[in-house]
Amino acid sequence: MELLKQRIIKDGIIKKDNVLKVDSFLNHQMDIKLFAEIGKEFKRLFSDCQINKILTIEASGIGIACIVAQYFDVPVVFAKKTQTKNIDGDVFTAKVESFTHSKTYDIIVSKKFLCADDKVLIIDDFLANGCALLGLSKLVKDSSAELVGAGIVIEKGFQQGGELVRSSGVRVESLAIIDSMDENNGIVFRN
Amino acid sequence: MELLKQRIIKDGIIKKDNVLKVDSFLNHQMDIKLFAEIGKEFKRLFSDCQINKILTIEASGIGIACIVAQYFDVPVVFAKKTQTKNIDGDVFTAKVESFTHSKTYDIIVSKKFLCADDKVLIIDDFLANGCALLGLSKLVKDSSAELVGAGIVIEKGFQQGGELVRSSGVRVESLAIIDSMDENNGIVFRN
């Protein structure tokens, strides 16, 4: 998605440890007009699919997923990262390792909101080591719902997540795949 | 907002300790069509105001804020609940006590995303004890931006948050104010 790639080049900041800061438009401040273009693109890519639910994970996936959902006319469910008082005991759960926060946590979705007849599209902002996406995929599998695919805004193609998830049989569509990034040489996208 | 009140009556579940579960349409599974109606209503209520930014707090505020933002044609910034590697040291911060999670945490917004010439509308799903809203208000005040007001989806009118925040001079518009709720007698809304 050219508009997205241009925006990453313009406003993305490459930090050490392969961190790409896109917090001015994607995951702290959020450019809702860009999200609408992202929504249209995911609708185009998954136009051949029957989808009745979008699944994402808190926090930064939620905004994108909600705007994307408008183009599919479906509700969004977001996986929560800790068990709160407001969640019933009856949940699907998976363990996810967070690179950003250097810890492992449980993600949960209430069993009320993932059913065997659901056709689920996962939406998330980043795909790097693949842990979050594999965790979300497990929740869908455990619910016996059909996982139609995953729509990712930015994939770090130099990390193993994309390969790992695709080789597990999940269709992954990433709007921008970064093959390399470097403070001196900038960002190289996959064609 | 009648549509919202009817939905709360239909799908809200009253639990002990004054917990109202609205996780089937508001803060776990999210009804995006309802969010669009909420967006139109906040636009109507704040139509007299110049707003150039919406501020919310992770996680359940984000989806609503993003849909609402489309009606104001502005970006969204969400306050984060813990300091992550991806946030620079240069942040506005406030302490917030969470009723749901029984703990106190820091909320932060990067100083890059709140400026003195911003006119900010805060959007959140719930107003109960007011701690989150007071924390968000402090972030706006610390940034010298103008706080235009706060748009709340559900206010628990029997808790002190609404009174606390309004008496501090902040304009608060809540789409549904619950005066009492009880497993036997149901929900009574304020007129």
- pLDDT of A86 > 60? The answer is no
- pLDDT of B100 > 70? The answer is no
Of A35, A78, A85, the CB nearest to B28: A78
B29 min Cα distance to partner chain A (Å): 4
pLDDT score of B85? 54
pLDDT score of B182? 92
Whether the ω angle into residue B69 lies within 30 degrees of 0, i.e. cis, is: no
Residue of B nearest to A19 (CA): B86
Out of A74-78, B26-30, B97-101, B132-136, least confident range: B97-101
Query: What average pLDDT score do residues A99-121 get?
Result: 90
pLDDT score of A100? 67
Query: What average pLDDT score do residues B92-110 get?
Result: 86
Interface contact A66-B67, CB threshold 8 A? yes
pLDDT score of A137? 98
Query: What average pLDDT score do residues A107-130 get?
Result: 97
pLDDT score of A184? 86
Q: What's the N-to-C CA distance of chain A in angstroms?
A: 10
pLDDT score of A19? 92
Q: What is the rounded CA–CA span in Å between residue A40 and residue A42? A: 6
**pTM metric for this prediction:** 0.95
The correct answer on CATH 3.40.50.2020 for the domain covering A2-189 is: yes
- Partners of B24 on chain A (C-beta within 8 Å) are 112-113
- pLDDT of B84 > 70? The answer is no
Best mutation target, B43, B64, B66, to test chain A (most A CBs within 10 A): B66
CB A71 within 8 Å of CB B35? no
Of B32, B84, B87, the CB nearest to A69: B32
pLDDT score of B112? 96
Residue of A nearest to B31 (CA): A75
Contacts of A35 (CB under 8 A, 6+ apart): A63, A64, A67, A68, B66
Helix A2-11 vs helix A32-45: angle between axes, to the nearest 10 degrees?
Answer: 140
Query: What average pLDDT score do residues A158-183 get?
Result: 97
CA distances to A104, B9, B96, B156 from B181, rounded to whole Å, are 38, 11, 25, 9
pLDDT score of B103? 81
Of B30, B66, B113, the CB nearest to A35: B66
Best mutation target, B55, B60, B85, B118, to test chain A (most A CBs within 10 A): B85
Whether the ω angle into residue A69 lies within 30 degrees of 0, i.e. cis, is: no
pLDDT score of A29? 98
- Partners of A63 on chain B (C-beta within 8 Å) are 62-63, 65-66, 76, 78
Model confidence at B147, pLDDT cuts 50, 70, 90, reads very high
pLDDT score of A98? 76
Task: Return the higher-pLDDT residue of B31 and A16.
Answer: B31
Residue of A nearest to B21 (CA): A86
How many other C-beta atoms are found inside a 10 Å radius of the C-beta of residue B93?
Answer: 14
Interface predicted TM-score (ipTM): 0.95
pLDDT score of B83? 54
Burial of A184 (0-12, 13-18, 19+ CB in 10 A): exposed
Interface contact A100-B78, CB threshold 8 A? no
Give the H or E element holding residue A175. Answer: strand A172-182
- pLDDT of B40 > 60? The answer is yes
Query: What average pLDDT score do residues B50-76 get?
Result: 97
pLDDT score of B54? 98
Interface contact B63-A65, CB threshold 8 A? yes
Task: Return the higher-pLDDT residue of A166 and B84.
Answer: A166
Query: What average pLDDT score do residues B53-64 get?
Result: 97
pLDDT score of A102? 75
Query: What average pLDDT score do residues A154-164 get?
Result: 97
